[in-house]
Structure 1
Amino acid sequence: MLFNSLDFAIFLPIVFILYWFVTKKNLKLQNLLIVISSYVFYGWWDWRFLSLILFSTIIDYWVGISLSKQSNEKKRKLLLWTSIFVNLGFLAFFKYYNFFIDNFIGAFSFFGMDVSANSLNIILPVGISFYTFQTLSYTIDVYRKKLKPTEDLIAFSAFVSFFPQLVAGPIERATNLLPQFYKKRVFEYNKAVNGLRQILWGLFKKIVIADNCAVYANQIFNDSDNLSGSTLAVGAILFAFQIYGDFSGYSDIAIGTSRLFGFNLKQNFATPYFSRDIAEFWRRWHISLSTWFRDYLYIPIGGSRASFTKTIRNIFIIFMVSGFWHGANWTFIIWGALNALYFLPLLLSKKNRNHLDHVAKGSYFPSLKEFAAMLSTFILTCFAWIFFRAENIGHAWAYISKIFSMSLFTIPEVRPSDVSILVIIFLIIEWIGRESQYAIEKIGLQWKKPIRYLFYYTIIFAIFWFSRSEQEFIYFQF
């Protein structure tokens, strides 16, 4: 079920009414309603894959309880690896089976050996990368004794399948989200209004910015052989705003929807395109995934506390694994490696934590130095996005080669003036609200009601005026 669909527009009010008016006096019933609603939400796409969520839930629930009763370290590790094997095994099969088979065949063919192996027509379950990492955070934290295992199967099932963030995050830690299912939730009007405001901004990002940028970005990437370097540069920039509007828009809708039901999810994006270096960008982009890899992979293998060579190794591991998490294609791995190359000089020179606060905090405009730093970081990011968007390495290389040709200095064949205006307006609003959890969280709160509501209705009008047919979110494929 898509957030930007009529189905969800009907589904959400029904669940909301049942949640607050029918089950509000019984916490167990509220949690059970969330589980049922979440399974309906996910099953709307393909009910067959509900069995994967159910199986992962039961396995990790059992592993958690078993870990609490086991003091033998070898047996505790065996339990942990059971959870890791089951969860990553499902992920590896559905997402990476054909990738490994094709590369296995290709490797032998390179040496003149003919090996036959069959690829499978596998459907990738929507959201499997997200809920797999979410439930793994539970068993790992229980193993580390940072979290007490739950004996409430309904609450744990609700944590694993929570429908607002089930399909594309944020990837919530068990330490943050699971305890919220134990506590009685009371409806708070201001919290709900805040949630609706964030949903509104998320829909604007997705429908007005991402979907309209996608029209031109797809046109340019799909016909890159016949277009000039300047046009391809425009395509890379448009894709940068497409993927940001699409993914951060989903996160905003998920976080806002969660607030309607009394839950607080972590911020997942913090105006990343205003970053002054790549290290800051990765602290602001897909925060839940970046911190997951940091805490459960990067630090355990030594992080930056290791020797010089091992630190370099660890940086490349974390970024390349992050790339591979996004998809079974070498383009994603190269995208990760490229970001590692961007990041490494900052880490080695100990400048990776130079920009921990918002740019131009308390000021209307950035300094010339800050603007130059943001612009250069954005250009590097757009360059890396080419690998993320390209069909394969050959496509990416041809695309980049054309950009770095003399045709870069020609007038672009595709000039999306309407979308350009929308992006500029979007950037202005994001800049004004860059210190908030989301751009319009505080904008207009001090205005008189008629002006404030005019601002909100203008956003609603734009959503309907610029809407296209229902478009899936990009990260559904990851």
Structure 2
Amino acid sequence: MLFNSINYAIFLPTIFLLYWLACRQRVRLQNLLLLVASYFFYACWDWRFLFLLIFSTILNFGIGIQIEGAKTPSAKRRWFWLSICLNMVLLGVFKYYDFFVLSLRDSLSGIGVETNLSTLDLILPIGISFYTFHGLSYVIDIYLDRIRSERNYIDYAFFVSFFPLLIAGPIERATHLLPQLKATRTFDYDTAVDGMRQILWGLFKKIVIADNCARFANILFDPAAEYSGSSYLLGAFFFSIQIYGDFSGYSDIAIGTARLLGINLLRNFAYPYFSRDIAEFWRRWHISLTTWFRDYLYFPLGGNRRGLWRTVLNTFIIFLVSGLWHGANWTFIVWGVLNACYFLPLLLLGKNRQHLDIVAKGRRFPSFTEFRGITFTFTLTTIAWIFFRAESLTHAWKILRAVFSPSLFQWPSFPTINYAYVNLILVFFFLWIEWLGREEPYAIAKFGQSRPAVVRVAFYLLIGFMIFSLQGRQNQFIYFQF
């Protein structure tokens, strides 16, 4: 079920009441209830893949115990690599097998070698990248002696499949979430209200901003259409806003939902479009995935501690894997390479950590230098998103050729252009609220706190009214496909 659906609007209050009234302060019963709810939530998508989720859970739960109990380093190492290989096979078969087979077949055909390699045409299980990474981080942390293996299957299965984060993250760590599942959780009114406020803002991002931007992005990214460079650039802008509103909106709803249940999830977005360079952008975009790759891949590869060329290689590996993680398509790989090319100059010049503070902290407006950096970074990111959104590399090059042609200076023209202007007003309203709240965990966390209560309530009612009156077509969240 979608977070922005009537079914979820019934499901969440039901679980909330059972959790706090029927199971209050009984941790084992709370965990069992949320595990059953999570399995039901997942089965609503496709009950057949519930067995794959359970298999993945049992696999890593059992191997975690074997790693901790291994008598020798070599036995410990064997169990560890068995888990890594099985998880990668599980992910690879469903997500990447057809891509590699088709790429190999096309490559061989290009040199005159015909093969009869066949694809599996499997449906991609929703959320498989996310729960596989939950399990991998758990096993790696046990192998590195960062945590003890979990002996309670209910608690471990709950950690892997907690319904707010199961489909599209944040990607949690056992070191962060498992201790919370062991502790007694008591209802806190202020925390619950804050969670509801974050859910409200997440719904606004998804329903009002992302879904309406999607209407125009879909028109302008139609492979069969021909538009001017200015129209394509506007389409790329709408997609940039769409993917941010869609994914960060999902994260806000997930984090807010967890807070209703007394659980704190990792922050996943920190106003990335206000970044002053690409390095800052990647510290603020999909934080749980970025830090996962940093801790479990980049650092083990040696990071930037093994010389210049190894640093360059490791950086490209991280961004290539990040592109491939998003999908089995050459467009995602090029997107990853392009971001590596953006990032490397900062890394090699030692400027990749020069913006660790909040932009224009304590000030209403950014300086000219900050504004220039934000604009340049957003432009680079938007160009990269063209590859991410395009149907193929050919499609992406077609758009880029138009963008970097004289037609860039024509006035945009495409179907429903007048509605697009109205949508731009919504987008700038959204960005202004985000800017005002950029020092908080989410934009409206403390919005209007210095104002009378009636003003705050009026603002929340306005947001609610816009959610119901300006909703676009109900779209599935973008990151469900990854």
Indicate the TM-score class for this superposition, using the shorter chain for normalisation.
Answer: over 0.9
Aligned position for 1:123: 123
The answer to whether the 8 A contact 1:278-1:343 is kept is yes
The answer to whether the 8 A contact 1:224-1:399 is kept is no
Aligned position for 1:143: 143
Alignment pair present for 1:443 and 2:455: no
Encode CA deviations 1:418-455: one digit per residue, 9 max, x unaligned.
11000100010000000110000011223211111000
Shift, 1:71, TM fit: 3.5
Encode CA deviations 1:108-137: one digit per residue, 9 max, x unaligned.
111101111111221001110011101111
Encode CA deviations 1:256-281: one digit per residue, 9 max, x unaligned.
00000000011100000000000000
Match of 1:87, SS state, is: helix
Which residue of 459, 466, 470 corresponds with 2:474? Answer: 470
Structure 1: 5+ residue stretches without partners: none
Alignment pair present for 1:424 and 2:442: no
Aligned position for 1:180: 180
Provide runs of 4+ in structure 1 moved above 6 Å: none
The answer to whether the 8 A contact 1:210-1:245 is kept is yes
State the one-letter code of the partner of 2:430: F
Distance 1:361 1:25, change over 3 A: closer
Residue correspondences, number: 478
2-structure distance, mates of 1:179, 1:86: 27
1:57-456 aligned within 5 A: 57-222=57-222, 225-414=225-414, 415=417, 416-456=420-460
1-structure distance, mates of 2:322, 2:137: 16
Distance 1:469 1:234, change over 3 A: closer
1:15-26 aligned within 5 A: 15-26=15-26
Encode CA deviations 1:387-439: one digit per residue, 9 max, x unaligned.
00000100001110011111000000044111100010001000000011000
The answer to whether the 8 A contact 2:215-2:472 is kept is no
The answer to whether the 8 A contact 2:228-2:403 is kept is yes
State the one-letter code of the partner of 1:440: I
The answer to whether the 8 A contact 2:96-2:328 is kept is yes
Shift, 1:224, TM fit: 6.5
2-structure distance, mates of 1:226, 1:143: 54
Identity %: 56
2-structure distance, mates of 1:438, 1:388: 26
Aligned position for 2:47: 47
2-structure distance, mates of 1:176, 1:293: 17
The answer to whether the 8 A contact 1:229-1:403 is kept is yes
What is the TM-score of this pair, normalised by structure 2?
Answer: 0.98
State the one-letter code of the partner of 2:350: K
State the one-letter code of the partner of 1:433: G
The answer to whether the 8 A contact 1:236-1:382 is kept is yes
What is the TM-score of this pair, normalised by structure 1?
Answer: 0.99
2-structure distance, mates of 1:451, 1:45: 40
Shift, 1:82, TM fit: 1.7
1-structure distance, mates of 2:142, 2:184: 23
2-structure distance, mates of 1:90, 1:68: 23
2-structure distance, mates of 1:468, 1:342: 34
Shift, 1:223, TM fit: 5.2
2-structure distance, mates of 1:430, 1:444: 13
Structure 2: 5+ residue stretches without partners: none
1-structure distance, mates of 2:473, 2:390: 24
The answer to whether the 8 A contact 1:56-1:86 is kept is no
2-structure distance, mates of 1:394, 1:304: 35
The answer to whether the 8 A contact 1:228-1:407 is kept is yes
Distance 1:92 1:349, change over 3 A: same
Encode CA deviations 1:40-62: one digit per residue, 9 max, x unaligned.
00000100001111111111111
Shift, 1:469, TM fit: 3.7
Shift, 1:229, TM fit: 0.5
Deviates more, 1:465-474 or 1:267-276: 465-474
Deviates more, 1:456-465 or 1:445-454: 445-454
Deviates more, 1:65-74 or 1:325-334: 65-74
Shift, 1:314, TM fit: 0.5
The answer to whether the 8 A contact 1:323-1:333 is kept is yes
1-structure distance, mates of 2:382, 2:38: 35
Shift, 1:471, TM fit: 1.1
Encode CA deviations 1:165-224: one digit per residue, 9 max, x unaligned.
100000001100111110110000000001000000000000000000000010001057
Deviates more, 1:318-327 or 1:58-67: 58-67
State the one-letter code of the partner of 1:337: V
